[in-house]
């Protein structure tokens, strides 16, 4: 460990070289930033995405990520890759971020936005940070257009999102934003209770929801956390045609996946005749 630290200190004295294009070389340690880089960074800029970018359970863009290199995010890997900019989360370990900066790498921190409005600002900020602001604005315009093109239901359905361990998504959660953009009313919303809160079985039954919205299919109570979603009373009260489903990989990050998530929900609310 002492030898590694000595090497890192020496390495930090050497400035990282920019790519041949004059644009900064990039390493992403932020899953939510990965689809942005794939969309509007120059391919030659991308030294590595997160290894999670190829996980279809976490990323709706996993297939595209196979066209790009990935990194395990370890300090040794950053030293090997020699990026100019490392993209992290605002929630990342501050001590680790400080070490990355000591190596001479510039850090860009994204908040992993929980709603599309906040993601819009982050897209432009990231574009400016990596020298691709025009491309970022064009990408954002396309996301806006994709959402605007989705035709919402004529009447606003009352939707109660439910997750394992009796959780529902409330005000400020990405799912709350998706329901709103799909033209629905989120019955889990409570502006004083934070983004996630618990809901009792009794309250779920008397909520008078038109639909419940799940992000995993409850086949059997394989854990204590799933007992709520597999309860016979819930199955009896909300029939199969009152159950909506949205893939979890569309909910991990707001922004790049928001148009897909909204479209997926609207298509279930307005099925083809």
Long-range contacts of 169-172 (CB under 8 A, 24+ apart): 169/195, 169/196, 170/194, 170/195, 170/196, 170/197, 171/195, 172/114, 172/115
Q: Taking Cα atoms as reference points, which of 197, 112, 118 lies closest to residue 160? A: 197
Q: What predicted TM-score, i.e. pTM, was given to this entire model?
A: 0.87
C-alpha to C-alpha distance for 243 and 230, rounded to whole angstroms: 13
Where b means 16+ CB within 10 Å and e means fewer, 135-174 reads: ebeebbeebeeebeebebeeeebebbbbbbebbbbbbbbb
> How many angstroms separate the Cα of 90 from the Cα of each of 107, 111, 145, 223, 265?
10, 5, 28, 32, 29
C-alpha to C-alpha distance for 139 and 39, rounded to whole angstroms: 7
Q: Taking Cα atoms as reference points, which of 1, 11, 185, 181 lies closest to residue 83? A: 11
| Domains defined for the chain, CATH in brackets | 2-147 (3.40.50.1980), 158-269 (3.40.50.1980)
C-alpha to C-alpha distance for 253 and 2, rounded to whole angstroms: 38
Would you write out the chain's pLDDT as a tens digit for each of its 273 residues?
A: 433 433 343 433 333 444 556 899 999 999 999 999 999 999 999 999 999 999 999 999 999 999 999 999 999 999 999 999 999 998 889 999 999 999 999 999 998 778 999 999 999 999 999 999 999 999 999 999 999 999 999 999 999 999 888 889 888 899 999 999 999 999 988 655 567 788 888 888 888 899 999 987 765 555 666 777 888 888 888 999 999 999 999 999 999 999 999 999 999 998 766
Contact 217, 245 (CB under 8 A): yes
How many CB atoms are located within 10 Å of the residue 44 CB?
Answer: 11
Which tokens is 32 given?
């939510």
């Amino acid at each position: 460990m002492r030898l590694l630290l000595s090497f890192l200190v020496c390495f930090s004295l050497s400035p990282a070289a920019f790519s041949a294009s004059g644009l900064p070389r990039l390493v992403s340690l932020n899953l939510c930033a990965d689809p942005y880089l794939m969309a509007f960074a120059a391919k030659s800029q991308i030294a590595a995405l997160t290894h999670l970018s190829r996980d279809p359970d976490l990323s709706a863009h996993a297939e595209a990520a196979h066209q790009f290199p990935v990194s395990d995010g370890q300090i040794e890997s950053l030293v090997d890759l020699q990026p100019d900019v490392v993209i992290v989360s605002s929630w990342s370990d501050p001590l680790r971020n400080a070490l990355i900066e000591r190596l001479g790498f510039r850090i860009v921190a994204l908040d992993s936005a929980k709603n599309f409005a906040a993601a819009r600002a982050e897209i432009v900020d990231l574009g400016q940070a990596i020298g691709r602001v025009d491309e970022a604005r064009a990408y954002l315009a396309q996301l806006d257009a994709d959402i605007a093109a989705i035709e919402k239901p004529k009447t606003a359905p009352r939707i109660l999102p439910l997750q394992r361990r009796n959780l529902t998504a409330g005000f400020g959660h990405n799912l709350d934003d998706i329901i709103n953009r799909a033209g629905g009313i989120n019955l889990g919303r409570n502006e004083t209770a934070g983004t996630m809160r618990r809901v009792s079985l009794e309250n779920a039954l008397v909520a008078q929801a038109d639909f419940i919205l799940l992000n995993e299919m409850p086949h059997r109570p394989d854990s204590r956390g799933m007992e709520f979603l597999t309860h016979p009373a819930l199955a009896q009260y909300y029939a199969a045609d009152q159950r909506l489903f949205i893939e979890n990989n569309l909910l991990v990050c707001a922004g790049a996946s928001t148009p897909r998530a909204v479209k997926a929900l609207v298509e279930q609310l307005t099925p083809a005749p």
